[in-house]
Structure 1
Amino acid sequence: MPSREEVTYFGAGPALLPTDVLENAAKALLDYDHTGLGIAEHSHRSQHATDIINNAKADLASYLDIPDDYDILFMQGGGSGEFSATAYNLVGAWVTRKKAEILEQLGVKSEEDANQEELVSALKKAVESELKLDYLVTGSWSLKAYQEAGRLLGPEHTNIATDSRPINDGKFGKIPEESTWKLSKNPAMVYYCDNETVDGVEFPKFPDVLAPKADGTGPIVVADMSSNILSRRIPVKNFSVIFFGAQKNLGSTGVTVVVIKKSLLPPACPQPSPSLMRKLGLPIPPVVFSYETIAKNNSLYNTLSIFDVYIAGQVLKKLLKTFPDKVDGQQAIADKKAALIYGALEAHPDIYKIVPDKSARSRMNICFRVTKDNDTDKAEAYFLKLGTSFGLTGLKGHRSVGGIRASNYNCIPLAGAEKLVRFLHDFAQP
């Protein structure tokens, strides 16, 4: 059996973790901070848990330069849970804003002062005619998010502002030109997945059409960054909500992080009452998916997996220690690794076919097909078998699309990428 040092794991998630972080976590499982109890045994209501959460929040804010007018939440349910949570919470925020507009039109200062039937009637008309959630469908995960919103709200309230499939033979692999996007007027949110793990598609930068205007106004942008967070600098202020599962670049499976503008939380933007949402025919989020509730309780409304937050915190501390320039230092390495791997694939066009268009190639999930000897299935099976024998594992593509996928997450060292590059060159030889 190979040792940990002999294996370079390119799996798409759960992904590789730093060995020293795992070693420290193993010790903490037995005895955390000389307390005689393991970290998984301490109460989530303890000061130990609070300190772990607060330290992880502070380190994440430092590493990504998250402004003070954002809050950081640790939640559960993974990215799929956030497909629902973003729809629930952002629709609620839309209703709150729309209610304020209608109250102003009615000439009253508060909901209590308004004629309730008149207010609800006006809100219902607004919901029916104006409520939209926009989705940029550029891969499997953004498609799932769009489908979940339609399931919760009804397709009449969801809008595919852009869809990659018509320009890519029914598959994903490109991002349509921004000039072709059909964005709604004042949508509750514009949602996109910054990096599509299944399809190997990554937005090269923040979309210009979604950027805030000079006066600070602009669309409410929500992004799933589960698979490329911590790998490059992001313009946090352009987003209203960013979420990411921990299990790619941050830590172990079990926690999901939400970075949210405080202007979407009380007191600036309290969620509508459940009774009002029912009158409007809109869904009410489960309490564990309520950003308002989770923020109010510093992520400790229910029993959070403190062990997983601890691992994420240890990864962040290691990143901050390794890179004095924070995320910029990690980005330089991520870009270099991706360039090396794509360069090796491009050097042998008769053997390797890179799946996504060059304009949208992911730096994190490098998807390609192997066509050696004109028998793709046989060639890929041999590629995977031979790669495993050289300690290159986790290279099988997603079950829905097949092929090969090298997930180039932060924990893949430069030496690991170089090892894969040598194998790609060697395999391509006659």
Structure 2
Amino acid sequence: MNRAFNFGAGPATIPTEVLEEAQKELLDFKGSGISIMEASHRSKLYEEVHNGAIALMRELYEIPDDYEVMFLQGGASLQFAMIPMNLAMGGKIQYANTGSWSKKAIKEVKVQNLDLEIVASSEETAFDRIPEDITFDDDADYAYITSNNTIYGTQYKTYPSTKAPLVVDASSDIFSYPVDWSKVDMLFAGAQKNAGPSGVTIVIAKKELLNRVKDSVPTILRYTTHAENNSLYNTPPTFGIYLLNLTMEWIKKQGGIKAVQKMNEEKAALLYDAIDNSNGFYTGHAQKDSRSLMNVSFNIKDKNAELEAELIKRTEESGMIGLKGHRSIGGLRASIYNAMSIDGIKALVELMEKFAAEKQ
């Protein structure tokens, strides 16, 4: 079987050896005679997987002891609503708007009729950059950013400094670089880009922040409910957490987060160089100082839809999938998360260069 190079934005490529290990253990996990999918979430068999995943996350991400690590469900999209439910204290809430997912999060704050302020936005330039000098008020209930924007291919190079608690949606760049926890009070992500399959939502938050929750918040939607029960208040997505655990083991084998970051920088450099050195045949959507290491969105000269469709067809014929750009900006998008190999990038660059030479 030939594995395709999967450049899809998510659910995204998973390390081959992770899938192979899951395949090997699928019917008989650790000699138990059952699949981990069949194990009770209250059993010792599963408990070791669950706690092992949390321990590995803490180790690799260097998460401080005063932060809670939780596995939730509902995707990052449920967090858009849960965060204001749990963290709003009656004061103002401030968001930076850098793309579609920021806008969806902002919408959920408006639904709750809270005091919302957008402190920065790049919407007027089609979200082609991270706004400069984002400033949050010290007395805001919390400040909110989306660290990487999958559709537009932009990414924060550093997080804004603020005395207000900073909440980071890191759904598309979690575990791809070290985090300075002195700047972050809550970080959350859907797992399906860099941490495993869809179905698991990771929430990492300062314990003291969780105590803000009001009695009016439904029990299942309180962070304290899940923190106090080690994310076992209700049945968690056990198989997804098992795969997340294997993915954390894979990251450790690569040399840890810093080693993964270096690989990501090398992969992105290869692809951006191909775009920049194409004599204008390819143009990136994001401004250079905001370019993402995870999602590379680009067009063919003059946004030639016919040529873009032809290139996408050529990539698919060559065993590369998921390169069609998001409908809102068109073009092409290569999502090059942790598990995308350097060989995949080289194959794409070679095809892009050949195609440009033919068509110019």
TM-score, scaled to structure 1: 0.80
Matched, 1:254 2:212: no
Aligned with residue 203 of structure 1, among 131, 156, 160: 156
SS at match of 1:238: coil
Aligned with residue 58 of structure 2, among 61, 64, 75: 61
SS at match of 1:223: strand
Aligned with residue 112 of structure 2, among 152, 174, 183: 152
Aligned with residue 384 of structure 1, among 312, 323, 329: 312
The alpha-carbon deviation at position 421 of structure 1 amounts to 1.3
The 5 A counterparts of 1:94-113 are 94=89
The alpha-carbon deviation at position 320 of structure 1 amounts to 0.7
8 Å CA contact 1:132–1:184 kept in 2: the answer is no
The alpha-carbon deviation at position 289 of structure 1 amounts to 2.5
- Cα distance between partner residues in 2 of 1:206 and 1:254: 27
8 Å CA contact 1:44–1:304 kept in 2: the answer is yes
Counterpart residue identity of residue 355, structure 1:
H
Matched, 1:273 2:215: yes
8 Å CA contact 2:86–2:212 kept in 1: the answer is no
Aligned with residue 208 of structure 2, among 263, 270, 292: 263
Aligned with residue 370 of structure 1, among 294, 300, 303: 300
8 Å CA contact 2:87–2:212 kept in 1: the answer is no
Aligned residue number for residue 240 of structure 2: 308
8 Å CA contact 1:244–1:258 kept in 2: the answer is yes
Q: Cα deviation per residue 1:81-108 (whole Å; 9 max; x = unaligned)?
A: 11111111111xx3xxxxxxxxxxxxxx
The 5 A counterparts of 1:268-417 are 269=211, 271-274=213-216, 284=217, 286-323=218-255, 326-371=256-301, 376-417=304-345
* Identity within the alignment, %: 37
Aligned residue number for residue 349 of structure 2: 421
8 Å CA contact 1:159–1:184 kept in 2: the answer is no
8 Å CA contact 1:10–1:392 kept in 2: the answer is yes
Q: Which runs of 5+ in 2 are unaligned?
A: none
8 Å CA contact 1:194–1:228 kept in 2: the answer is yes
Aligned residue number for residue 73 of structure 2: 76
8 Å CA contact 2:40–2:46 kept in 1: the answer is yes
Q: Which runs of 5+ in 1 are unaligned?
A: 95-126, 211-217, 275-283
Aligned residue number for residue 129 of structure 2: 174
The alpha-carbon deviation at position 383 of structure 1 amounts to 0.5
Runs of at least 4 residues off by over 2 Å: 26-29, 181-185, 269-274, 286-289
8 Å CA contact 1:232–1:328 kept in 2: the answer is yes
Moved more, 181-190 or 239-248: 181-190
Matched, 1:162 2:112: no
Counterpart residue identity of residue 130, structure 2:
I
- Cα distance between partner residues in 1 of 2:185 and 2:47: 25
- Cα distance between partner residues in 2 of 1:401 and 1:236: 34
SS at match of 2:189: strand
Matched, 1:14 2:11: yes
- Cα distance between partner residues in 1 of 2:113 and 2:61: 33
The alpha-carbon deviation at position 355 of structure 1 amounts to 0.4
8 Å CA contact 1:366–1:405 kept in 2: the answer is yes
TM-score, scaled to structure 2: 0.96
- Cα distance between partner residues in 2 of 1:237 and 1:313: 26
Counterpart residue identity of residue 45, structure 2:
H
SS at match of 2:60: helix
Structure with greater helix percent: 1
Q: Please, what is the CA RMSD of the aligned residues?
A: 1.5
Closer, same or farther: CA 174–230 of 1 in aligned 2, 3 Å:
same
Q: How many residues align?
A: 358
The alpha-carbon deviation at position 375 of structure 1 amounts to 6.5
Aligned residue number for residue 238 of structure 1: 183
- Cα distance between partner residues in 2 of 1:380 and 1:273: 53
SS at match of 1:4: coil
Q: Cα deviation per residue 1:15-49 (whole Å; 9 max; x = unaligned)?
A: 01112211221233312221111111111111222
- Cα distance between partner residues in 1 of 2:235 and 2:150: 29
Aligned residue number for residue 95 of structure 2: 135
Closer, same or farther: CA 287–397 of 1 in aligned 2, 3 Å:
farther
Moved more, 19-28 or 194-203: 19-28
